[in-house]
Chain A
Amino acid sequence: MRQLVVIAILVLLLPAAALAEDYEIAVELSQDTIGMDEQAILAITVSGSSRDLPRPTLPVFPAFELLNSGSRSNMRIVNGATTTSNTYLFALIPRQAGSYVISGIAVGRGNQRSIAEPVTITVLTQGSTVDNSTAEAGRDATGQARDYWLEADVSTKTPYVNQQVTLTIRYYRAVRQLGSPDLTHPTTTGFWREYLGNKPPTYQQINGRRYHVLEVNYALFPTITGKLTIGRAALSVNLATRRGQRNSVLGLFGGGQQVTLRTQPIVVDVRPLPTAGKPVDFTGSVGNYSLSASANKTTAEVNEPISVTFQIQGSGNIKAVADPILPEVDGFQVHRESTDESVTNLNEQVGGSRTVNEVFIPRRPGVLTIPAARFNFFDPRDGRYREIASQPIDITVSEPEGWAQFDDGGYATPNTAVGGEMSDIRFIKTEPGRLRPTGGILLTNPVYIAVNALPVLALIGLIAWRAREERLRADVGRSRSRSAGKAARRRLAEARRLSEQDDYLAFYAELSRAVVAYIADTANVSPHGLSQDDVAALLTNRGVAEDLVADVRGLLQSCDFARFAPQAGAVQNRQSALNDAEVVINRLEELRRA
Chain B
Amino acid sequence: MPKWLCAIVIGMLQLSSAAGASVDSVFSAGNSHYEARHYDSAIAAYELILAIDRESAPLHFNLGNAYFRAGDLGHAILHYAKAERLDPTDADIRANLDFARSRVAVQVDGVQLNPVRAVLGSLVGGFRLDRLGWISSVLFLLLLGGLAYRLGFRGRARWLMPAIYVTVVMFVTAAALTTIKYRLDYLIPRAVIVTNDAPVSTGPSDQAETELLAAAGMMVEIVNDQAGWYEIQLENARRGWIRQDLVAVI
A-side interface residues toward B, CB under 8 Å? 77-80, 335-336, 338-340, 409-410, 415, 417, 422, 424-439, 441-443, 448, 451-452, 455-456, 458-459, 462-463, 465-466
Contact = CB atoms under 8 A, between A and B. Distances in A.
B56 A466 contact: no
Contacts of B21: none
B211 to A, nearest CB: 13
A334 B102 CA distance: 21
Given A79-B105, A417-B95, A462-B152, A443 B178 contact: yes
Contacts of B59: 432-433, 435
A462 B50 CA distance: 46
Contacts of A409: 35
A433 B35 contact: no
A466 B73 contact: no
A459 B23 contact: no
Interface stretch (B118-126, B130-138, B202-210, B225-233): B130-138
- Nearest 3 A/B pairs, CB to CB: A429-B58, A462-B152, A433-B56
A448 B133 contact: yes
10 contacts: A79-B103, A336-B37, A336-B71, A338-B71, A425-B95, A431-B58, A433-B57, A442-B134, A443-B178, A455-B144
Contacts of A462: 148, 151-152
Given A417-B95, A426-B92, A432 B103 contact: no
B137 to A, nearest CB: 6
Nearest to A80: B107
B34 interface: yes
Contacts of A434: 56
Contacts of A431: 27, 58
Interface in B36-76: 37, 49-50, 53-59, 61-62, 65-66, 68-69, 71, 73
B137 A448 contact: yes
B31 A443 contact: no
A197 to B, nearest CB: 15
A442 B130 CA distance: 6
A101 B137 CA distance: 82
Q: Which of A409, A425, A426 has the most CB of B within 10 A?
A: A425
Nearest to B61: A429
Interface in B168-207: 178, 182, 186
Contacts of A340: 105
B56 A435 contact: yes
Nearest to B147: A459
A459 B71 CA distance: 57
A434 to B, nearest CB: 6
B108 interface: yes
Contacts of B68: 338, 425
B234 to A, nearest CB: 11
Contacts of A335: 37, 69
B141 interface: yes
Contacts of A429: 58, 61-62, 92
B148 A459 contact: yes
Which DSSP category, helix, strand, loop or mixed, fits chain B's interface?
Answer: helix
Interface of B: 23-24, 27, 31, 34-35, 37, 49-50, 53-59, 61-62, 65-66, 68-69, 71, 73, 87, 92, 95-96, 98-100, 102-103, 105-109, 129-130, 133-134, 137, 140-141, 144, 147-148, 151-154, 178, 182, 186
Given A340-B105, A410-B34, 15 more contacts: A77-B107, A78-B106, A79-B103, A336-B37, A339-B71, A415-B92, A426-B95, A429-B61, A432-B59, A436-B55, A441-B182, A443-B182, A458-B148, A459-B144, A462-B148
Contacts of B100: 425
Nearest to A408: B35
Nearest to A409: B35
A448 to B, nearest CB: 7
Given A335-B37, A441-B182, A443-B178, A432 B106 contact: no
A472 B87 CA distance: 55
Contact of B69 (A336, A432, A443): A336
Contacts of A336: 37, 69, 71
Contacts of B61: 428-429
Contacts of A459: 144, 147-148, 151-152
Nearest to B71: A339
Contacts of A339: 71
Contacts of A456: 144
Given A410-B35, A443-B133, A451-B137, A77 B106 contact: yes
A294 B188 CA distance: 43
A430 B62 CA distance: 9
Contacts of A441: 129, 182, 186
Contacts of B133: 442-443, 448
B35 A436 contact: no
Contacts of A448: 133, 137
A46 B27 CA distance: 54
A214 to B, nearest CB: 22
A278 B102 CA distance: 40
A85 B82 CA distance: 38
Contacts of B178: 443
Given A422-B95, A441-B129, A459-B148, A432 B27 contact: yes
A417 to B, nearest CB: 7
Nearest to B50: A438
Nearest to A434: B56
A459 B151 CA distance: 9
B41 to A, nearest CB: 14
A498 B15 CA distance: 83
Given A433-B59, A451-B137, A452-B137, A466 B53 contact: no
B23 A435 contact: yes
Contact of B140 (A78, A80, A452, A465): A452
B232 to A, nearest CB: 17
A442 B129 contact: yes
A428 B45 CA distance: 14
Contact of A425 (B50, B55, B65): B65
B99 A338 contact: no
Given A441-B182, A459-B144, A433 B151 contact: no
Given A78-B105, A442-B129, A443-B133, A432 B56 contact: yes
Given A77-B108, A428-B61, A422 B151 contact: no
B54 A437 contact: yes
Nearest to B186: A441
B111 to A, nearest CB: 14
Given A459-B147, A463-B151, A443 B129 contact: yes
B207 to A, nearest CB: 15
A576 B69 CA distance: 110
A439 B189 CA distance: 13
Q: Which of A336, A417, A438, A439 has the most CB of B within 10 A?
A: A438
A551 to B, nearest CB: 47
A459 B148 CA distance: 6
A371 to B, nearest CB: 18
Nearest to A356: B71
A338 B103 contact: yes
A107 B232 CA distance: 40
